[in-house]
Structure 1
Amino acid sequence: MGLSGENGASRRDPVAATEFHRTRFGAYFPRVFAFAHSLTTDETAAKEAAVEAFSRTFAQRGDLTEEEFVVLLFAGVRDHCRTTRPARNSGDELNGTERELLALVFDARLSRAVIRKLLQTTEQAISATLIGALRKVRAGVSPATADRSIRMA
């Protein structure tokens, strides 16, 4: 998902900057909140994490590319969630990395390229982790649902 517009110009014009931030907030908040909620399982904590991440990301330099903005935003959410509420053990056999990757793919709906930069890993590592996580999830859901999830990834 990309937003058109030159943020450098917005930086010089406070009204344009406010509108640019408002547009980005509207475009990304649902996905940021869904990701935070997956990590915290708490609506209030997820909202706080989302607001904190947006605040920190908007405070960055004004010439961020869309991809840089998204990586910083989701890294901020992840880091805030880790410090405020450590990963839980939900008994589903998923480790923290697997749970986070599933949330990035299915809740945040991020591209593999953005996920690779966010997690600082390779496409192969992402694929291997994702397939392993989906196999673990499959053990707890119907085969048809699991097969659809694997094809989506």
Structure 2
Amino acid sequence: MIKDNPSKPLRRSLTASVLLTLAACSNAAQAATYTMFRDPGCGCCLSWAGHVEGGMEAEVASVDTDDMSALKAAKGVPQDMWSCHTMEVEGYIIEGHVPAEAIARLLRERPEGVTGLAVPGMPLGSPGMEMGDRVQPYEVIAFGPDGQKVFASYP
């Protein structure tokens, strides 16, 4: 007769616990936090957040603040890149009406020397600024310690 080792059930239980913990950590790492800071009186910010939620399959938390200038300065957004809202995701800053596809590309490629992306101003036709057929060409600018460069152009 083969005797069962009394420590086997304990080892199995510990192994299962470790595997469950690793799976939970893996899922938590995949679930990025998207936090958008906005002036409470701005409506286009919420439209843009809806665009990001749909395009990134993510939930955007909206935080109202009355001093966007101070927030942008504290987050390191160059003043010539300022727009109406500022978002943080996975250590990056997203300023203004940046399309979801550009954000996805940034998170996928993680280019060296880039702190964030910006669409300066509020160009018509950019996500959250749709006005029928009216569209202004615009650029998504990557910014960081290495300076600024065009990341994408629309349309």
- Same fold, judged at TM 0.5 (above): no
Per the normalisation by structure 1, the TM-score is 0.31
Per the normalisation by structure 2, the TM-score is 0.31
Hey, which of these two has a bigger chunk of strand by percent?
2
Between Structure 1 and Structure 2, whose CA radius of gyration is higher? 2
Hey, which of these two has a bigger chunk of helix by percent?
1
Q: Which has the higher contact order (CA 8 A, sep 6+)?
A: 1
